[in-house]
Structure 1
Amino acid sequence: MTTTTRPVRRVGELLRDWRQSRRMSQLDLSIETGISARHLSFVETGRSRPSPELILRLAEQLDVPLADRNTILLAGGYAPAYPRHELDDPELAPVRAAVRRILDGHGPFPAVLIDRHWQLVEANPAVALFTDGAAPHLLAPPVNVLRLSLHPDGMAPRIGNLPEWRTHLLARLRQTAVGTGDAVLHDLHEELRGYPGGNCHAPATGDPVSRVAVGLRYRHDGRELSFLSTTTVFGTPLDVTVAGLAVESFFPADAATLRALGVRGGDAVPPS
């Protein structure tokens, strides 16, 4: 039996790949970080060993995800700079409490906590609005919320503007996959774009909401509900796990949706 191992990549190669992915020249990066282009070239070719401080300075300027900054440090022979705690570790208790307040306070409207691969971590009870009718295999942990949204056995048949919503989600996923260099997200994008649902390359103009943002029109109990979504992330995270967390919250986009969800007096949205 033969086993193969992936070659260990050098710190300079990793930094060069991130620089090129950000479409920056050595001169551009050297100007932004205050080091000479000659020194940067020596680092990338392995002729000079960068200090951990230099690695972090370059990684910060290149907006390298925290997990990948640790990988670059390890390639340079240094210890990781950013911890990776589990969400139920005591160190992340304030994070859990903050997320719980957001999810609970958002009711009766749906909100979910997802990780960096769009897997469901936690949700408020109102999310049952979206999961109702989905196939059991899509709801078995770990639940991927993008797969749940676009799979023909998931939410897709009940999305009234599926081409627009699908195009929006795929573009967002592709942008994140390219920006992070995450192979899991690249594979997920390839999977999801193979699902049926159509594409929409022009903004919709059928209602006031669609003129300002891509909303979600969702059929439930014989009614079409209209939502706008927001994404909340933790500012300046220093933990790998926390850096990958995001809360996706859905807000009613019209008074009819407010009434359908049992809220009276919809002053915050225009009448429908």
Structure 2
Amino acid sequence: MATVEHCLYCFEALAAHLESRKPMTLAEVQKSWAEYVHSVDPEVGDKTADASEADSSSRGKLAKRLPALQRIAASVSSSSSPLSSGSASASTSSVSLGPETPATSISSASASEEEEQPEPITESPLFVTWNTISPRHGHMLRGCIGTFEPQDLDEGLSSYALISALQDMRFSPITARELPSLEVAVTLLTDFEDADDAMDWELGKHGLRISFYYHGKRYGSTYLPDVAVEQGWTKEETVVSLMRKAGWVGKKDKWTEVDLKVVRYQGKKESLEYAEYKRWRDWVDKNGKRS
């Protein structure tokens, strides 16, 4: 699942870019965060250090690519140009078919200490979302771009942190003066499966990626796992809205006549506000905790 360190790393990549300095690596962030937490609470810090060490030492590939994910990869263009989400909601994402898309997710419970621990994730499809937090308006989307292609987290997170902040075509690039008002959310996508039909998924659990042909043109888009619940939609309302996001202009009551190909997926998300990043970063600068 995504971690606090992943979020810190995204903030670090963006802040360093805007401040014209060299960013810390993911391994440096993980190590210094463990030390930072230990300085506040030694007992918690010891556990964090063990987890961070395991994450940074493992470089295994994804053990298995489900057929649904393989078909997604095979169907998209080889182009690496980023695609943005298509909604003004802070957690809503929709995209055209391509290797890069936006997403959001829900976290899963960690395994007990007595169970065999899974191999730490070092490569995954991922999405980075930037939100602006306003006392008046709450959370407002500021940028969201990601990819369904598995990425090495060290390179992928830093790249998409900048792409989503600076290249989301719906927004102007994020500036340095905006940093204090930002929140970042990192989502790692998992469990891609072909759905039997448009209703073969669970609200709040699954994200959806659809594709279909209409009047000879191909359409496609995606919604993140938490979108439908946040919007208060039923499953049917979610699917119809997703088709609209893709560009479908047919009659609402005719949506079932469209032959939809549906892939459902889950997500592991973590989020962090700038204030927490700044406290950690100030501690790093003060204590020289950088490799």
Question: TM-score scaled to structure 2, two decimals?
Answer: 0.25
The structure with the greater share of residues assigned to strand is 2
Question: TM-score scaled to structure 1, two decimals?
Answer: 0.26
The structure with the greater share of residues assigned to helix is 1
